[in-house]
Amino acid sequence: MEKTYFDIISKYISLSGEEKCKMEALKIFHSLKKETILLKEGQYSNKSYLVLQGCIRTYYIIDGEEKTTALFTEMERLSPNCVLNKKPSKHFISCIEDSILAITDHNDEKEIYKKVPKIKHFFRVHLEYLLAKSQYSLDEFKTSSPEQRYISLIKNRPELLNRVPQHQLASYLGVTPQSLSRIRSRIRKENS
Amino acid sequence: MEKTYFDIISKYISLSGEEKCKMEALKIFHSLKKETILLKEGQYSNKSYLVLQGCIRTYYIIDGEEKTTALFTEMERLSPNCVLNKKPSKHFISCIEDSILAITDHNDEKEIYKKVPKIKHFFRVHLEYLLAKSQYSLDEFKTSSPEQRYISLIKNRPELLNRVPQHQLASYLGVTPQSLSRIRSRIRKENS
């Protein structure tokens, strides 16, 4: 199975045999089944998640209903706020698909970087890009209508349409599943 | 004036005399007056902004009205999406207060890090923290009512209440200035 991780990583970084051995010993790569829950509301955690393959989501349970707030696919990183503020998590994290993740403990990262310095670049190179994307997602959510958000999703993250269940996609867009159906049929009519 | 920049930076990083000279030559520190516009809708840009002192905001003009989406204070970094996707900016950036900013050109950052390696850590150390905060802000906006957002602001960023004009704070919270007034007086009554 480790071969799979390195096949994926080799797209982004070239590791020597020795570096691969060290990485294997660090046990940061995990293969997880669809619907695995990685973090629950109320739990403390030190872990960050980098998606190598698959899709994970954060969701809150509010008045008994799941509210999906964020979706992470290949090479996106989720740093839960509870890791940094050392408070119990307010949300859940689970796998939408069978996924391969690099899961790192906040306290161990320095040790990992010392053992395999190249990996620091691999983990950190995208941070600025992810920060810009995250800041833009918030701007977009604040300034657009649900229909505009759906059109933006079709344009910018079309793969999510087939990978994420409709009711989760609806709450991610801030609408009910019924509203999402209406938006979809309105757009279909306009384009037909 | 450079002394002021280094007084602020020295809280986070210790620079030698030679490093300070090199930093001065790079001309990345800028002292800007309140209401200076740093970026306009439609412009291309390669610049990111790290606030050393002061407060900046991003805002959109939608149907002739300003919509403030994000506020950045000390040690917060704004990486506009337009820098990374190389498209015209969809928003404006301006100073809410007289501000001291580190403004870096995306294409020059490698050169800066080569000249003063310590500065790489200074610019990058907070990225993961800022990413977690940004991801959490989006979660919070999606899962809370305007009143809950205002209460969270009082708790987590109380300094903004005195630093940001009310109409900008209202649109940042996703409400009209009238709604914000009602929320404020409701909370005052509950606490009196």
Residue range B29-46, pLDDT digits in tens: 999 999 999 999 999 999
Q: Which residue among B69, B81, B138 places its CB closest to the CB of A132?
A: B81
**ipTM (interface pTM):** 0.88
Interface A:B, Cβ pairs < 8 A: 98
Contact (CB, 8 A) for A21 and A115: no
Confidence of residue B123 (pLDDT cuts 50, 70, 90): confident
Helix axes A17-26, A2-9, angle to 10 degrees: 120
pLDDT of residue B1: 45
The residue with greater pLDDT, B26 or B42, is: B42
CB within 8 Å: A132 and B80: yes
Q: How far apart, in whole angstroms, are the C-alpha atoms of residue B138 and residue A63?
A: 19
To the nearest whole Å, the CA of A139 is away from the closest chain B CA by: 5
Look at the block and give the residue holding tokens 């906040």.
A106
- pLDDT reading at B109 higher than 80: yes
Digitized pLDDT (tens) for each residue of chain A, 192 residues in all: 445 788 888 887 888 999 988 888 888 999 999 999 999 999 999 999 999 999 999 999 999 999 999 999 998 999 898 988 899 999 999 999 999 999 999 888 888 888 888 888 777 767 888 899 999 999 999 999 999 999 999 999 999 999 999 999 999 999 999 999 999 999 989 888
pLDDT tens per residue across span B127-149: 888 899 999 999 999 999 999 99
pLDDT of residue A123: 76
Q: How far apart, in whole angstroms, are the C-alpha atoms of residue B102 and residue B49?
A: 6
CB within 8 Å: B134 and A134: yes
CB < 8 Å to B69, chain A: 138-139, 142-143
- Residue of A126, A129, A131, A172 to mutate for B, most B C-beta atoms under 10 A: A131
pLDDT of residue A47: 95
Q: Does A60 touch chain B (CB under 8 A)?
A: yes
- pLDDT reading at B174 higher than 90: yes
To the nearest whole Å, the CA of B18 is away from the closest chain A CA by: 27
To the nearest whole Å, the CA of B184 is away from the closest chain A CA by: 21
pLDDT of residue B125: 66
pLDDT of residue B117: 87
Radius of gyration of chain B (CA): 18
pLDDT of residue B2: 47
Q: How far apart, in whole angstroms, are the C-alpha atoms of residue A180 and residue B46?
A: 36
Whole-number mean pLDDT of chain B? 91
**Rounded mean pLDDT of B164-174?**
95
Which residues, at least 6 apart from A32, have a Cβ–Cβ distance to it below 8 Å? A38, A54, A95, A98, A99, A100, A101
Which residues, at least 6 apart from A137, have a Cβ–Cβ distance to it below 8 Å? B138
